[in-house]
Chains A and B, each alone.
Chain A
Amino acid sequence: AQSVTQLDSQVPVFEEAPVELRCNYSSSVSVYLFWYVQYPNQGLQLLLKYLSGSTLVKGINGFEAEFNKSQTSFHLRKPSVHISDTAEYFCAVSERGYQKVTFGTGTKLQVIP
């Protein structure tokens, strides 16, 4: 069975500083990987996804993530954060051939002015 671990429940970072949100997954088969963002009282929005090909994936709002198969990781990065990036971020995995998407417990990013 697939699983996702987001080690950091909260990450405070100063405005314009870089940030990395960590995600590790576990699966016995090939996977698809996703990062979603959830702003307060709103639904989830897809930031980026890895399906195949280049391991460096670029998403919306200046975010990017790198798929590392040997370390089973899919960390999310942004070189310079803004106040508007304050939200909760969810990493998710889906095993190829199945529709079930498993989400991590989320990381709350707090950008400090």
Chain B
Amino acid sequence: GAGVSQTPSNKVTEKGKYVELRCDPISGHTALYWYRQSLGQGPEFLIYFQGTGAADDSGLPNDRFFAVRPEGSVSTLKIQRTERGDSAVYLCASSSQRVWSNQPQHFGDGTRLSIL
């Protein structure tokens, strides 16, 4: 497809489990962003990749959260020892350039994560 693809669209798991969320950016986009959107809130920045490297991971809430982008395309957000407070919609966005360019961030539809 032409847009940002996120899988799965929904994930339900038990507290303490490990989860992986996948993001397929638009082909050729070098910048990739992860956000978390809790109910009734705006998206919260987690991490930004430029190519393969995490250029800014200041938004990751703690060391249970980790993200990779080994080949500069697909990215995986990994959450260890999940907690009920991790329940949210996780959004991925990609862009062909930096956020202050004329190229916008294109968002996926998100993965709705529910921790029981």
Chain A: minimal CB distance from B65 (Å) = 15
**B residues touching A (Cβ–Cβ < 8 Å)?**
4, 31, 33, 35, 40-45, 48, 50, 55-56, 58-59, 91, 93, 98-100, 102, 104-105, 107-110
**Cβ-defined contact, B45 with A51, below 8 A:** no
Task: Give the number of chain A interface residues (Cβ < 8 Å).
Answer: 24
State whether A100 and B58 are in contact (beta carbons under 8 Å apart), knowing that A43-B109, A43-B110, A46-B104 are contacts in the complex: yes
Contacts of B99 in A (CB 8 A): 32, 94, 99, 101
**A residues touching B (Cβ–Cβ < 8 Å)?**
4, 32, 36, 41-46, 49, 51, 90, 92, 94, 96, 98-106
Instruction: Name 27 A/B residue pairs within 8 A (Cβ), A-sorted.
Output: A4-B42, A32-B99, A32-B100, A42-B109, A43-B91, A43-B107, A43-B108, A44-B93, A44-B105, A44-B107, A46-B104, A49-B104, A51-B100, A51-B102, A90-B43, A92-B42, A99-B48, A99-B55, A100-B48, A100-B59, A101-B45, A101-B105, A102-B45, A103-B43, A104-B42, A105-B41, A105-B42
Contacts of B44 in A (CB 8 A): 103
**Cβ-defined contact, B56 with A98, below 8 A:** yes
